[in-house]
């Protein structure tokens, strides 16, 4: 459960966008990511998410499917439709937990799907793995 302190101290480079309309989720996640050495932004609507993606160019998006206007699935599809954003990793972190939702999320081009509530170590594992792949493909 506990995250390896030496890893967080190593200050890996990486930009993360947390897209969730609930502050209860974004604040602890932001703290956790920042403590682990990542650069973090947050968005509380679908529209804001796409705007920040365009300017901030994150390496990873933690995306709540239930975010509205447009919803998480549509955001994911929009990003996947744009070749410039092919390197962006998308991880759903969502309260929509049916098999159907997970299948839909993965089919719309996401790299992973975590259901709420999640454990910090689970989410950190995913983030670390995804950003390693992203680094690998960049180089």
Binding site for other proteins (CB under 8 A): 1-3, 22-25, 27-29, 31-32, 35, 64, 66, 70, 73-74, 77, 80-81, 93, 95-97, 99-101, 103-104, 107-109, 115-120
CB of 60 to other proteins, least distance (A): 17
CB of 36 to other proteins, least distance (A): 10
Nearer to other proteins, 123 or 131 (CB): 123
Q: Is residue 99 helix, strand or coil?
A: helix
Q: What is the CA radius of gyration of the chain?
A: 14
Q: The tokens of 106 are what?
A: 């993965």
Q: How far is CA 52 from the centre of its chain?
A: 13
CB of 54 to other proteins, least distance (A): 18
Edge-to-edge strand ranges of the sheet holding 112-115:
39-43, 15-19, 60-63, 89-94, 112-115
């Amino acid at each position: 459960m506990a995250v390896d302190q030496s890893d967080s101290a190593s200050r890996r480079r990486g930009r993360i966008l947390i897209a969730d309309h609930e502050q209860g989720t974004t604040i602890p996640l932001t703290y956790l990511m920042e403590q682990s050495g990542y650069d973090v932004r947050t968005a509380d609507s679908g529209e804001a998410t796409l705007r920040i993606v365009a300017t901030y160019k994150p390496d990873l998006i933690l995306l709540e499917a239930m975010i509205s206007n447009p919803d998480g699935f549509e955001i994911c599809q929009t990003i996947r439709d744009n070749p410039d954003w092919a390197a962006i990793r998308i991880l759903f972190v969502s309260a929509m937990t049916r098999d159907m939702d997970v299948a839909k999320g993965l089919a719309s081009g996401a790299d992973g799907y975590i259901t709420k509530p999640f454990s910090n170590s689970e989410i950190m594992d995913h983030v670390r793995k995804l950003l390693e792949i992203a680094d690998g493909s960049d180089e």
